[in-house]
Structures are given as C-alpha cells and as structure tokens.
C-alpha cells in the first residue's frame, strides 16, 4: 500500500498535466490560444498567491510535528500551501472552462494526489485545502483576465 501512496503522491500529478494537453488537443484553433494563455496566467497568479500565503501562514509538515518518518523524503520546511495541490487544482480548474469531462477526470486525480500527500505525511489537510483554494482562485482569475484581454484586443477601436 505504501508504494501506491508514494506513486500517487509523487507522480500522479503528471497525469493531471496530461489532461490539460488532452483538453488542448480537443478544442478549436481559436480556443487553443485562450487555453494556453489562461493556463500560463493562472499558473503565475496561483504561484504569486501561494508565495504570499506561505509567508503569512506557517504550518509544519506532519512528519515534523508528529515526529514520524514520511513516506517521501522531504525538507522540514513550511508545508502551507501544498505545491502539488496548487498545481493539480490550477490545471484542473483551467481545464474546466474548456472541457468539463476531462476536468472531471483531472479533478478525481487531483483529489487522489492530495489524499496521497496527506497519507505520505508530507502535508496536512489544511496544506492541501489551501493549495486547492489558491489554485481555483488563480485559474478563475487567469481565465477571466485572458478572456477580457483577448476580447479587448480583438474589439475594433471605437475612436478610429
């Protein structure tokens, strides 16, 4: 069972990233650009919010506070928010705007990654929830900012 937890905690996020690629392959040519820009902006926004949150709140990793050995070797640094939860939720939430079926599969994988990180004793539930929340916020802001900018750029100038 430990090997399954380790695999899910360390490597399953790759399948979530692959889900974004699958969604990108399935959208129209015009939507490919929107999806790509949305994903990049969402990632940047989520990363900035994550760094701010990490400076505002410190949550020791469970293996440190509980004095147990983690299933995955990890530095005893701040666990809040989880980078894996942040990444997987950001990608899942961006994908949701373009392909809800693929996003549903990605969401399931995102939950598995988060649970595995907790089971591996490298994150607390709060670390995972924080990563998910920040990832969702980054994705929503990134998507709507992209749509706004693209619509503004494509709109003919009324003053010309």
Instruction: Give residue-wise pLDDT tens across range 26-64.
Output: 999 989 999 999 999 999 999 999 999 999 999 999 999
pLDDT at residue number 79:
93
160 within some domain: no
159 within some domain: no
pLDDT at residue number 109:
98
What does the pLDDT average to over 153-159? 63
Domain that holds residue 24: 2-154
Angstrom distances, CA of residue 65 to CA of 62, 124, 144: 5, 10, 40
CATH number at residue 138: 1.20.144.10
133 within some domain: yes
SS3 55: helix
pLDDT at residue number 152:
87
How far is residue 43's CA from residue 57's CA, in Å, rounded to a whole number?
21
Instruction: Give residue-wise pLDDT tens across range 102-120.
Output: 999 999 999 999 999 999 9
Domain count, the chain: 1
118 within some domain: yes
68 within some domain: yes
């Amino acid at each position: 069972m430990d090997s399954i937890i380790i695999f899910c905690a360390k490597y399953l996020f790759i399948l979530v990233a692959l889900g974004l690629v699958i969604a990108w392959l399935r959208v129209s040519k015009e939507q490919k650009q929107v999806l790509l820009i949305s994903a990049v902006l969402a990632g940047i926004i989520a990363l900035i919010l994550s760094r701010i949150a990490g400076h505002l709140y410190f949550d020791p990793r469970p293996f440190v506070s509980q004095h147990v050995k983690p299933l995955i070797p990890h530095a005893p640094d701040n666990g809040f928010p989880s980078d894996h939860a942040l990444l997987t939720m950001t990608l899942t939430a961006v994908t949701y705007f373009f392909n809800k079926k693929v996003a549903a599969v990605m969401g399931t994988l995102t939950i598995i990654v988060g649970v595995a990180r907790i089971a591996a004793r490298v994150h607390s539930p709060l670390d995972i929830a924080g990563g998910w929340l920040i990832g969702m916020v980054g994705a929503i802001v990134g998507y709507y900012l992209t749509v706004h900018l693209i619509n503004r750029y494509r709109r003919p100038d009324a003053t010309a």
